[in-house]
């Protein structure tokens, strides 16, 4: 009498399924089907990952395809609930606020922005403006307003723009929309931190010597400075450092600007215009980088997402 062969355990590709789920969500956000602010709700479902790992262990002797479909169904249900909660904010009004700071004698300014969940736009002021900065914020239900702190010392200024921290129920999402404009004739440095946000940053008409950008889940369209020769006597190199997790980043380097681009990616699609920036080892560089007075050094570190440089 032959003995019945014991059923062998099979490995459930949990991490592969999870990455597939993240890829689908990220693709839908990149196509503007889902809002980037959804991550503010979706991250609360992290305990489901523990449940899925437990199911993978308990059901490892069952059909791998059936278990995989079950895990996908659970993740899909979490996504559906997150979408419902994101759009289920209680009805309320929209509050609009504005802020401006006169230029005075300021020649240099440091700008720090801490922005959470919403839309952030950075532009330049008209050359005739007498202000250093003009900002407007539009928030839903008064949640996520703009907090401003400005310090002036001689010809230098320091500006802090942060999202107000408020107590709110878990279903109430911050939905701020900020538009911030800066003077064109002031030397600026930026340190911008964002989470679950849609960014449109146009520095083409600004004098930016350094930009530090930290993106935690979001979409970013960035146009770098286009410095005319008159600036080159005191600005020869713009430094840009970008750190991103789960992000879609599109960077435009204006014509006439030389660049050296270093990109470190993990699970990230990379597209660099090699007709302008040829690849040399582990970086991309313009042929006239060493001689062009208008240059940018760009360093990008991205985990999960897409990076395009042109």
pLDDT along the chain (310 residues), means of 10: 52 77 78 70 78 79 78 84 65 75 95 90 95 89 76 96 63 70 95 91 94 92 77 64 92 94 90 95 93 92 91
Please calculate the CA angle 36-261-247 and round it to the nearest 5 degrees.
10
User: CA-CA-CA-CA torsion for 245, 246, 248, 252, nearest 10 degrees?
Assistant: 10
Q: Give residue 142's pLDDT.
A: 52
Find all residues with CB under 8 Å of 206, minimum gap 6, and list them. Answer: 124, 182, 184, 188, 225
- The whole-angstrom separation of Cα 236 and Cα 7 is 69
Residue 263, number of CB atoms within 10 A of its CB: 18
For residue 252, what are the contacts with CB-CB under 8 A and spacing of at least 6? 221, 222, 223, 224, 310
Measured in whole angstroms, the distance separating CA 12 from the mean position of its chain's CA atoms is 33
Question: In this predicted structure, what is the pLDDT of residue 160?
Answer: 97
CA 302 centroid distance within chain: 10
Dist CA 253 CA 83 (whole Å): 35
First to last CA, the chain: 72
Helix, strand, coil proportions of the chain in percent (round to 5)? 20, 45, 35
Those residues whose C-beta lies under 8 Å from the C-beta of residue 211, and which sit 6 or more positions away, are: 189, 190, 192, 203, 238, 239, 240, 241
This model's pTM is above 0.85: no
Contacts of 143 (CB under 8 A, 6+ apart): 166, 168, 172, 174, 175, 176
Q: Which tens digits make up the pLDDT trace of 189-209?
A: 999 999 878 899 999 999 999
Task: Write down the pLDDT at residue 170.
Answer: 38
CA pair distance 292, 197, nearest whole angstrom: 34
pLDDT given at position 145: 77
Name the one residue in this structure whose structure tokens are 């609930």: 81
């Amino acid at each position: 009498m032959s003995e019945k062969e014991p059923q062998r355990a099979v490995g459930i590709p949990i991490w592969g399924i999870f990455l597939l789920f993240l890829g689908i969500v990220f693709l839908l956000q990149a196509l503007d089907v889902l809002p980037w602010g959804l991550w503010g709700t979706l991250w609360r479902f992290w305990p489901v990952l523990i449940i899925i790992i437990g199911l993978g262990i308990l059901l490892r002797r069952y059909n791998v395809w059936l278990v995989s479909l079950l895990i996908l169904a659970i993740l899909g249900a979490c996504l559906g609930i997150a979408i419902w909660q994101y759009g289920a904010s209680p009805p309320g009004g929209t509050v609009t606020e504005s802020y401006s700071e006169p230029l005075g004698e300021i020649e240099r300014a440091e700008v720090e922005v801490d922005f959470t969940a919403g839309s952030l736009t950075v532009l330049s002021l008209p050359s005739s403006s007498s202000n250093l900065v003009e900002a407007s914020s539009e928030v839903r239900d008064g949640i996520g307003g703009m907090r401003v702190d400005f310090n002036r010392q001689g010809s230098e200024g320091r500006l802090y723009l942060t999202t107000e921290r408020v107590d709110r129920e878990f279903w109430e999402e911050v939905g701020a929309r900020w538009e911030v404009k800066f003077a064109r004739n002031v030397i600026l440095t930026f340190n911008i931190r964002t989470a679950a946000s849609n960014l449109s940053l146009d520095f083409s008409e600004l004098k930016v010597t350094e930009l530090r950008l930290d993106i935690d889940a979001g979409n970013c369209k960035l146009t770098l400075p286009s410095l005319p020769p008159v600036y080159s006597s005191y600005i020869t190199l713009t430094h840009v450092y970008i750190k991103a997790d789960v992000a879609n980043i599109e960077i435009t380097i204006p014509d006439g600007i030389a660049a050296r681009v270093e990109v470190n990616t993990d699970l990230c699609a990379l597209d660099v215009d090699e007709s302008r920036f040829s690849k040399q080892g582990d970086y991309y560089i313009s042929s006239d980088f060493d001689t062009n007075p208008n240059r940018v050094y760009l360093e990008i570190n991205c985990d999960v997402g897409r990076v395009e440089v042109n």
